[in-house]
Amino acid sequence: MTTGNFKDALHRFKEGQGKIKALNYATSMLFWDASTGAPKSGADARSKSIGTLSGFGYREVVNEQTEADLNLLIDHLDELDEIDRVSVLDAKREYDKLTKIPMDEFQAYNELISKSAMIWEDAKEKSDFKMFEPYLEKVINYLLKFAEYRGYEGHPYNLYIDDFEPGMSVDQLNVFFDELRGRVVPLLKKIIDKGDAPEVTFLKKDYPKQKQDEASRKLLGLMGFDLERGMLKESVHPFTMGVDIDDVRLTTHYYEDDLASALLSTAHEGGHAIYEQNIDRKLQPTLLATGTSNGIHESQSRIYENNFCKSHAFISHFLPYLKSAFPEPLEGIDVETFYRGINKVEPSFIRIEADELTYSLHIMIRYEIELGLIDGTIKVKDLPAVWNQKVKDYLGIIPKNDAEGVLQDVHWSEGLFGYFPTYALGSAYAAQLAHYMGKEIDIEACLANGDFAPLTKWLNEKVHQYGALKKPNELIELITGERLNSKYYCDYLEEKFSGIYGL
């Protein structure tokens, strides 16, 4: 094997990565277009185009030359610099994911998924889990089978966690959720028992869209999002799209009878967007120029949304502006009232409407069920009962039907197992990062001055710049000297909500 071969392989590899990046860019733009005003009638043409682009992408990854190059590069890992080494390892993982499953089974699975997602929609509408049950069973059987093809260490669920949070494992998650169960469930119970519900009606008054848009842009500017290298638009469901360091886009959704929704979505997506904007430029030509995992990405959205924007300190800074923008609905509202209102805790059935405290309990329910379904300790047919029991145990309420219970999320119908835990990981990483940031910066003082710059700069240096170069465990350890530690998250929740509810 000559050096020439190796150099050629590396050159081809980089070229191939560039092509995949270019295809991803186009696909993302089609999605952006579809979500921000494209005529509905164009859906067929768009999906044909996306399908074709994905076909080109597949053939770019899966072919004999790419396989040979990858194997050669894997043999020479030591000779690669860090960026190339991580890129090659990521590509190898992606390659295995695409090739270890026999093509005919993968196609059959994709057909099942597309059917299953439709059936789920129908079942949810009719609130009838029985309709969805056989499909979910088939999906899980495929996932178990695919785990055997793909190979895994320890628990088969590790494989699916790893798809969204590289390196994370059932062992780590069990420790994490055990502490959550032990500390957050009792905390919630105390809050409910106290029965001291904050005032929130002032948040549900008349808030004109145009003014909300201005406030969202004002907030983004404060947070440190560069509106010259990106854009904010409206879509039905808020999302962030980081197609390139120099073109990061986010959306929010305005409700004219709700002040908090759009602003908090903007803070949340703004956190994702600031991450994408501040990745080191040396990663720009590679596929590493993006967030490193779902969980770390979510930590950036959560830290801006919850730890920063919903803090007492920041509200004390931002409320005067809001009162000048919305004088009537906010007349007579003081910082304390606003702070308590926007942080109100109330157990509810629907995850996506949950408050900061109960949110992770919704995730815990899903984690326990996914784990049980994968290791066989929970049967699909028992899901509605299992679900309702867990909601009762953790949230103290009982769903009236499957639609507001086990059928509420689309994820399982699409085979997305291992995704949910990353939502809770995001909040936990956020708390851990904020704890260590607090050792270097007076966060409260910054927020009270509306000065996000030192906070954003800290995150730029510690988290953002690395993109996907450092994987989650490595990154968190690099910054905090330890791996994920749920203590910080539970401490944070206890302190914050004990304060609000005077416990």
Catalytic positions are 269
Query: For residues 305 and 307, what is the distance between their CA atoms, to the nearest angstrom?
Result: 6
The beta strands (E) that lie in 336-441 are given as none
Nearer to a copy of itself among residue 216 and residue 343 (C-beta) = 216
Q: Which is nearer to a copy of itself, 30 or 325 (CB)?
A: 30
- Hey, what are 61's tokens? 């990854």
Is 41 a binding residue for a copy of itself by CB under 8 A? The answer is yes
Please check whether residue 473 is in contact with residue 173, taking contact to mean a CB–CB distance below 8 angstroms. Answer: no
* Position 45 contacts a copy of itself (CB under 8 A): yes
Residue from 25, 58, 149, 255 touching a copy of itself (CB under 8 A): that is 25
Assess 51 for contact with a copy of itself (CB under 8 A).
yes
Q: How far is the CB of 181 from a copy of itself (least distance, A)?
A: 44
Angle between helices 421-440 and 472-480 (to 10 degrees): 20
User: Which residues, 6+ apart, have CB-to-CB distance to 108 below 8 Å?
Assistant: none
Is position 325 an interface residue for a copy of itself (rule: CB under 8 A)? no
Interacting span for a copy of itself (CB under 8 A) from 145-153, 192-200, 244-252, 375-383: 244-252
What binding mask, one character per residue, do residues 179-218 give for a copy of itself by CB under 8 A, x or -?
A: ----------------------------------------
Please check whether residue 305 is in contact with residue 298, taking contact to mean a CB–CB distance below 8 angstroms.
no
Q: Does 247 bind a copy of itself (CB under 8 A)?
A: yes
Stretch in the footprint of a copy of itself (CB under 8 A) among 38-46, 92-100, 301-309, 365-373: 38-46
Which run of H or of E encompasses 252? Answer: strand 247-252
62 binds a copy of itself (CB under 8 A): no
- Contact by Cβ (8 Å): 198, 341: yes
CB of residue 231 to a copy of itself, shortest distance in Å: 6
Which single residue is written with the structure tokens 């704890």? 435
Residue in 70, 86, 243, 263 binding a copy of itself, rule: CB under 8 A: 243
Using alpha carbons, select from 343, 275, 314 the residue that is nearest to residue 500. 343
DSSP 3-state of 197? coil
Give the type of residue at 92.
K
Using CB under 8 A as the binding criterion, the count of chain residues that bind a copy of itself stands at 36
For 255, the 3-state DSSP assignment is strand
Q: Which two tokens stand for residue 116?
A: 């299953």
Shortest gap between Cβ of 102 and a copy of itself (angstroms)? 24
Of 40 and 439, which CB lies nearer to a copy of itself in the complex structure? Answer: 40
- Name the packing angle between helices 421-440 and 486-501 (round to 10°): 80
- Work out whether 255 is an interface residue with a copy of itself (CB under 8 A): no
Alpha helices, DSSP H, located in 151-285:
157-164, 170-194, 209-223, 260-277
Q: Binding residues for a copy of itself, per CB under 8 A?
A: 18-19, 21-23, 25-27, 29-30, 32-33, 37-42, 44-46, 48-49, 51-53, 55-56, 228-231, 243-244, 246-247
